[in-house]
Amino acid sequence: MTVATQGAGGGGGAVDRPSGSSLADVIDTILDKGLVIDAYVRVSLVGIEVLTIDARIVIASVDTYLRFAEAVNRLDLEEKGQGGLPNLVGQMQEGGAKKKTKGAAQGALESAGEKVREFVGDGGDSDRAPRRRRPREEE
Amino acid sequence: MSAPTDSETPEQQVSTGCYVYGIAPADLEATSDARGVGDPPGKVSIVRHDQIAALVSDIDLGGPLGTPEDLLAHQQLLDAAASEVPVLPMRFGAVMTDPEAVKEELLAPHHDEFLAALNELGGRVEYVVKGRYVEEAILSEVLSEVPTAQELRQQLIGQPEDATRNLRIQLGEIINQAITAKRDADTAKVVEALSQFAAATAVREPTHEQDAAHVVLLAELGRQGELEQALAELGREWEGRVNLRLLGPLAPYDFVVAEAAQQ
């Protein structure tokens, strides 16, 4: 079995196909998902300090709002002198295929977003109680 | 169904524990290059009972657990195994006293339940689809569609920052609402485009305010090509607006559930 680094459709980079999960992806996946041993056995987590990471939940806050407002403001600066907005949007949609919008700014934003996760030392045994996941759906 | 809680008392002295990665069929083989959690990485071995097995490694109980390397090792091991055999992944951090305990307290009492789940899983694996909006594109879209956002933006032009905090908060809130609505619609679109290739789908919580979609699929490994093709089509449609990523094949983290936990 091999995994292509590009989508089999040859989408010209339309879909990013990393060969492995990044740490951020791993954090999203293995910390609050999967079978919980405590549900089966009571003798788990024997005397080991497990570092856990607060699961990130996106909660819209004033900071988020201000960031959006700032981004809109930045947008204006970048595009000034190019006429009204509807015009601008039209150009963007037409030129979408040619235009490579993914740039340094996007990368910086992503890393800022990921930065929210931080390691916190956790007592190690207690609050790892099983959280119910949705039951397996079958057709 | 729960194991006795007082059985660990005689084991208190031991300095190593047994880290459990997941459950698989008994014919699973450990690859020699498999790296476990811990520093140095534990050697991965297999504890078998009847028709099922657990992937485990020794772990030093004195050291902390949960470094980036530990997290990556846990997932990489399970994902590699999931490409070969059905695997029920444990959540990160499952440690038992020793291999004997894994066999007697985890595998034996739940043998039939685990075996049934493995059979049900068959050749299916998990895929994660993540979409992230391209900021400029999505903001322009919102401004063109939401008149109040457009008006507020006009009001703010040329105004000093400290005098307009409330207005800016108001504008940001409107944008956030609009993006949330777009996320719901675009998430539904991803699910719709891909669900025909999947036995099950689920939507994860967004991890970023500009997430466009965060969807997990349980799909046959053999249909990966079709899945990639369908997603690439969506990616082309959304080029310049949403950056899509596909992760997998992964162990089915989002699709395992502990029935015994219902008590």
Amino acid present at B230: A
E-only strand ranges, chain B: 16-25, 44-49, 52-60, 64-65, 88-89, 95-96, 124-133, 198-203, 211-220, 242-250
Torsion of CA B134, B135, B141, B146, to 10 degrees: 150
Contact criterion met (CB < 8 Å) for B260 and A40: yes
- Residue ranges of B 65-84 with Cβ closer than 8 A to chain A: 65-68, 71-72, 74-76, 78-79, 83-84
Q: What is the mean pLDDT of residues B193-211?
A: 93
Pick from A2, A46, A117 the residue to mutate for testing the B interface (most B CBs within 10 Å).
A46
pLDDT greater than 90 at residue B147 = yes
Q: Which residue of B has its CA nearest to A53?
A: B66
- Looking at the complex, report in whole angstroms how far the Cα of residue B129 sits from the nearest Cα belonging to chain A: 10
**Position A28 confidence tier, pLDDT thresholds 50, 70, 90:** confident
Residue A132 CB coordination number (10 Å): 10
Q: Confidence class of residue A40 from pLDDT cuts 50, 70 and 90?
A: low
Closest B-chain CA to A29: B253
What number is the ipTM of this complex? 0.73
Among A35-44, A72-81, B139-148, the range with the most confident prediction by mean pLDDT is B139-148
pLDDT over threshold 60, residue B186 = yes
Q: Does A112 touch chain B (CB under 8 A)?
A: no
Confidence of residue A56 (pLDDT cuts 50, 70, 90): low
Q: What is the mean pLDDT of chain A?
A: 55
Share of chain B above pLDDT 90, in %: 76
Strand B242-250 with B124-133, pairing: antiparallel
Give A45's contacts (C-beta < 8 A, 6+ positions apart). Answer: A37, A38, A124, A125, A128, B93, B94, B95
The pLDDT-based confidence of A13 (bands split at 50, 70, 90) is low
Residue A82 sits at the chain B interface (C-beta within 8 Å):
no
Beta strands B88-89 and A119-120 are unpaired
- For residues B10-14, average pLDDT: 52
CB contact under 8 A, B95 and A46: yes
**Which of residues 10 through 39 in chain A touch B, CB cutoff 8 A?**
10-12, 14-18, 20-21, 23-37, 39
**Residue A81: count of CB within 10 angstroms of its CB:** 4
Please, what is the average pLDDT of chain B? Answer: 90
pLDDT band of residue B197 (cuts 50, 70, 90) is very high
Residue A58 — pLDDT band, cuts 50, 70, 90? low
pLDDT of residue B84: 93
What is the structure's pLDDT at A39? 60
Instruction: Write out residues 110-169 of B within 8 Å (CB-CB) of A.
Output: 110, 117, 120, 128, 130, 132, 134-137, 139-141, 143-144, 149-150, 153, 156-157, 165, 168-169
Whether the per-residue pLDDT at B23 is higher than 70: the answer is: yes
Portion of chain A with pLDDT greater than 90, in percent: 5
Across B74-78, B90-94, B180-184, B228-232, least confident range = B90-94
Banded pLDDT at A23 (limits 50, 70, 90): confident
Structure confidence at residue A53 (pLDDT) = 53
The residue extents of the domains of chain A are 23-95
Mean pLDDT of all residues in B234-253? 96
Pairs across A and B, CB distance < 8 A: 325
Q: Give me the pLDDT at residue B211, please.
A: 95
CB-closest option in A33, A88, A136 to B253: A33
Residues of chain A contacting residue B260, judged by C-beta atoms under 8 Å apart: 39-40
Among A15, A28, A32, beta carbon nearest to B232: A15
CA distances from B90 to A32, A37, B61, B82 (A): 10, 7, 19, 13
pLDDT in the model for residue A137: 39
- Average pLDDT for B221-248: 96
Of residues A128 and B164, which shows the higher confidence score? Answer: B164
What are the tens digits of pLDDT across the range B36-90?
999 899 999 999 999 999 999 999 888 888 888 999 999 999 999 999 999 999 9
Element (H, E) at A53: strand A52-53
Phi, psi dihedral angles at B217 (to 5 degrees)? -130, 145
- Joined together, the tokens standing for residue B135 give 């900021």
For residues B150-165, give the mean pLDDT: 89
Q: Is the pLDDT of residue A80 over 70?
A: no
